[in-house]
Structures are given as C-alpha cells and as structure tokens.
Structure 1
Amino acid sequence: MPEDIRQTVDAVWRMEAARIIATLTRWVGDLGVAEDLASDALVDALTQWPQSGVPRNAGAWLTTVAKRKAVDQWRRQENLDAKYAVLARELDDHVDQAWDPDRIDDDVLRLIFSAAHPVLSREAQIALTLRVVGGLTTDEIARAFLIPTATAAARITRAKKALAGCAFEVPERDEFRARLSAVLSVLYLIYNEGYSASFGSRWIRDELCSEAIRLARVLAALVPTEPEVHGLLALMEFQSSRFAARTDADGNAILLEDQDRTRWDRAQIRRATVALQRAEDARAGRGWGPYALQAALAECHALAPTSADTDWSRIVTIYDALLQISPSPVIELNRAVAVAMAQGPASGLRIADGITGLQDSYLLPSVRGELLARLNRHAEAAAAFHAAAELVGNDRERDVLLRKAARYSRD
C-alpha cells in the first residue's frame, strides 16, 4: 500500500473513530458490536482506497460501510426484518454523503454518558470511555491511572462484558449529575494525553485536545449550571493558549519559563477567563471544585507578563486547597515545584523526596533532576534525568531528558 494512503487512513481513523463508533453504538445498541463493525469498515478502506482513492468525506464512507455490514448481519438473523428495514431506509446509496456535525456531536456525548453506566465502577467507566472515545491505548490509560497495563486492560474487558446487552441511551436530565463526575474525568484525561503525549514522537497530540475542548463546550451548553464543567473548559482553554509557544520549529519542548509569551493566544485566554467566571457564578457560594482550582492555577501563569512576575505564593496556596479536596501524588509533586519557585529549590526538593506513589513514573525523577541542578548538585541531577529517561514513553521527552543528563554529566 502506498505510504501516503496509509498515512491518510491512519489520520482519518485517529480523527473520526470516536464519532464513528458513537454513531454505530446508537444504531446497533452494543458497544462491542459497534467496535467490530468499525474495524471491519477500516479493513475495507485499507483494501479499496489504494485503488479507488480516498473519499471526500472519509468518515461518512467508513460509517456507511459499517452500517451496511450491520444490515448484512441482521439479514442473516431471524425476526429482525423490521429493524433491517428501518436501518436500510436511512442508508444513502451514495457513500460520499455530507457529514452532520450536530448529530455526531450528540452521538459522541451520548456514548460518553452511556459508558458512564451505573453498573460499572468509576474506574471502569473512565477506562472504557478513554479507550473508545479518546482512542487512547491501554498503555496510555494505564499511565493516566498510574496502574500496570494489565490492570487497565482487565478493566476495559470487564467493562465491555458488563455493558453487553445494556441500552446505550443518554440518561434523563435528572440522572446527569450522577454520571457527570465520570464524564468530566474522561474529558480531563483525554485532554491531558493530548497536552503531553505518553508515547510516540509527538510532544502534543492537538487532535485530542481539540476534541476534549469541543466536547466540553457541548457539555457546558447542556448543563450550564454545573460549575465544574465551566472550570474544566477554562482549564483546557488556558492550557491550549500556550500551544504555539510550547515547541520550537523542530518540535522540541520549550519550558514554561522560557516561552515567548507574545505567542500565547490572547483570545483563548479571554475565553478561558470568561469560562472561569461562569464557574464562579455557577458555584453560588459552594466551594471550588478541582477543575476550577486547576483553572485558577493556569490563570496565574496566563496573566503574568513574564515568568518572573508569576505569583508563586498564590499558586502554592491554590495547590494547598487542591490537595484538600483531590489529593494525589502528582498534585503533591506540582506543589513541590511551586514551593521551589516561591521559597527556593531546597524547600521543593525536601517535599519531592517525601512523595510516594510515583515510583513507576518519570515525573518524580524529572522534577528531582531540575531541583538538584538548581542546587548545583550536577552529578545527582544527571543520575535523576537518566532515571526519568528510562521511565518515559514519549520519544521527544526522552530526548530532552537525555540531553539534560548529558549536560550535567559534563559539569
């Protein structure tokens, strides 16, 4: 197969898989069957597109082919003539039909809410939706949960089995709140994987970030009185405003303190500020939630004219509040960095050295390397960067860590 066709197929699948599977799940009522149909359609694309060319609406082509395969399956079954007739009438004979973004948006949101089914544990809800909607690999999901890959795979398998036969329907509005926490967690983790890719050669997977923001906007319109929805949207907008300055021309990472802030997207920062204000208005005297607090942290960076102007003391205070309502070793580590910036690297290192639960993550040795380097303990810094490089899955990030290790090994 020509390499350009293969790359196109990969790109189409990466961008459209969640929407295709969401649409098929609504049609056939079974997530596992929908995934199988979508995969079969992808095989057809790999076979046919090299000869016929890539359709103008490739996502619609894949969806229609998958629907026809569903029809073929139903035709082989007894007592399903009525279902077949309904589905067949809606199929357009012309595969290259126009894509309806509103309907697809609803289908993706339907799938997210449906996968947050009460028969599943919260962890299983999130893992399953990350796999199907976010398109994350099992390794990436394991990294998000800080668990072994085998554990993540088992969760996804059990979730699919538990949902077999369950109706994939958007719950009634009065049931939204019960599922909202899991839905927000999914969007947050999808965005995080896009913001800092776990594996591969890309530092940022902007298509994941864009999809998470799009879905958060749809959700904010659906439940406008939920403060954490606006808080999460604000966080995503603040973080995405820095994308143009996060990498150089070769795709290498640029640290926050070294970024050209004139390249930050001021329009996106204004949208984020508006969303954070909506979160404040919606909370009506209730305490801040974890997403709104993280958005407030991002706002501190977004509004500082230079790195030196950052209000690190306020950032430490916000992290203190965040740890009270959402304790995690990653938040502890981020707080250690903030303390280092506010009070000096020795203070931050003392906190970092007391953190547990990140033994399989590159994050802790990476931060320790930075703090040790600022304390001029270069040999220890080099060893920490080497340890981090052995744990990281992203090629770009590994290269950065190895360069730092080499730099401090020479000093």
Structure 2
Amino acid sequence: MTVTTRPPDAAAALPPTALPPTPSPPSAEDVARLITALQSQGLRVAVPMEARAGGAGPADAGMLYIEGVPATVPTSAPYVADSPYALRGEDDGSWAVYRDGKRLASASPAPRPRYYDLTTADGVPYWQIALMHLDSMASTVLQTCAYWGNDDQCRFCGIGVTLAAGRTIAKKTPAMLAEVAVAARDLDGAVDATLTTGSTATPDRGAMYVARCAAAVKEAAGLPVQVQFEPPADLDVIDRVADLGVDSVGIHVESFDPAVLARVAPGKARWGIEAYFVAWERAVAAFGPGQVSTYVILGMGEDLDVTVEGCKRAIDLGVYPFVVPLRPVPGSLMADFRPPPREVVEAVYRRVVPHLAARGLSAAGVIAGCARCQACSGLGAFERSDGGIRDGRPSLPFLGH
C-alpha cells in the first residue's frame, strides 16, 4: 500500500548533515587577534558610532564592543578605506565584523552617552568637559601644554588641535568634573574616571591640580580615578597625590627607545628614561604594584627588543606597561603616519603578556584608568585569551627575537 504524506518544508527535507552549520563563536584568542588587526588596519563602518576625533592620546577612535570586549579602532582615517574589515548589519538588527564576506565576530557600537545632552548652569556642554570612552569617563583637565607649539612638542599629540577645534575648553575645574562624573555614572554607567593633563611649567608638572580634580570626582561620584602626569621634579608630589585618595597613576614614558623618544617627544626626553624608572619606583611604593602604568607606543620606529626589555624592567618594578599601537591624530605632527602592522604589535604583546603573568600583574587588577579599560590596546585581550593566562599561570610562550 502506498501512503501519501504532506511534503515536508525545505529545511526538514534536508538530511541533518546538509543543514547550514551554526557558526561557532570566535575564541578569546581569535577576538584578541581581530582587535589587534582592526587597530592596525581600521574598520569600515556604515553606522553612526561614538568616536573620539582628537585629544592627547589615541584618537580617530570608533568605540564598540567586539564579542563583548571593549575596543577603539580607527574608523575615519584615509587608510581605513583600504581595510578588509567592515561592520555590517545582521538580519536581526545586530551588527558584526566581516572580512571578505565572512562573519568574524559580533559587534555592538557604543551608543551616544545621554549626559552629552546636559550643560552646566553657565552653559558649558558636559561633553566639552569630559567624554565617555565606552565605560570610562575621561578628561584632559588642562587642555594646554608647556610643550605645545614649540620645538618640544610631542609629535604624536593632538592636545592643542582639540582645543582649537572648539571640542573642549582650556581648563576644567574640580566642580565641573564632579558634576559631570555624577551624570556619567547615573546616566551612562561610568565605572571609573581617567584624568590627564597637559604638562605645566611648574615643578609638579600639573600633578597636584589633576589630583585635586580627582579628589572632587571621588567625593561627588564615588568613582575610582586614575590621574596621569609627567614625573615631577620633587618626587614627594607623588605621595601627596596618593594622600588625596587617587587610586592609580599613569606616568607615561611613551617609548623606551631613547633615540625615538628624543625625536618624537624632545621635552619628555630631556628628563631621561631613567627618571621615569625613579618616579615609577616611588609611585609603586605609594599606590601599590599594578596601580602604576605607562603608555608604550608602537609604530614610531622603535627597536622592538629595547621596547620589550623596557617593558619587562617596568613590570619587575610593579608597573603595568600599557602597550598600544600608534593612533595618528589628525592635525598632529604625525598625522600622515599609519599604525604599525598587526604582526609587529601582536609579537610584542606575546612577549610582554607572559612576563606580566609571571610577576602577577594583569589588566584585571588595575583599579582605574587606561590600563583598566584596555580598549585602545589588544594587550588585555591577549591576557584573557585562550593562549594567554590560565588559572593565573602564563601559557603564552616567550617568543624569541
């Protein structure tokens, strides 16, 4: 006897092996490598995205989460047009990073912070006082620098560009920053504050002013705060900063290669790299291991072996070297540069991460600041990756030279 049945739907008619495979989520290692690639080559986007156009640190920074990992990546520099990576919409309304038509990872562009719509009583927009960098409120409290506009100007910096463009104000007061910090916490979930400053011609290099701003933020909003400043002439200043309740500090050498530092940051180079180690030692004594960090910028012509050895020496002191690829700032003296290749940056990360782990330092242990956030670097992503740290032990091999 023949039995007639309804034709099954098309999917049910396929044998199990012919069903479209469900894409596996990328591993933590894949995400770390993808973030590193995006920070070198950029991401083509067709969706409104919060971005930082200038400033004193990494700029041209489209802000997003890649598989939940915070990242800032170039989105508007001219070289981004040639990037093989694109942010594309999905059928369900979500977003993902693609390369050559292949979906690599989910992505969530950061929304515009709600506190940007507010102004102070005297009419200053909150966004001119402090910006949200994903989950961190950040501000350059003095948007002027003793090095700007003369032979000592740091070639990678855009502190004066931002001011000239009207995107900020020259001086933020402690009261202003406290007001904005409360709004950033309540409206946009800020988890910390990062306060930096242009260097002043005073012996403390601006450290005490930025520390007073930090104290006001902590009192008003209760957020952990990192402050960033140059090595002061009197190292007792570091202890006074700690006495104001600051949680962590960034004292940024920028490059461990003396020749590169003299070329790209002559004013900072006059201190001598050894002066940074002396200041870091004092700062670690005041703030504790892991609560002192330094920017280390890749892509300025530095000797990579010298760079890695400098990172290791800093780590041995208890300093977290926040290694980042150069993010050329539009309008800066290095505006025509490009970020270094992914392979170069990744190789440095893979040599630094095991040393961090061996000394018990990690981004997860930093209370506040850039090294806590990690969005402008892939270093923290490699720490968290499958090939990074397992059970507190390093599993990335030390790579040869």
With CA pairs under 8 Å and 6+ residues apart, which has the higher RCO, 1 or 2? 2
TM-score where L is the length of structure 1: 0.28
- From the two aligned structures, give the one with the greater helix fraction: 1
- From the two aligned structures, give the one with the greater strand fraction: 2
TM-score where L is the length of structure 2: 0.28
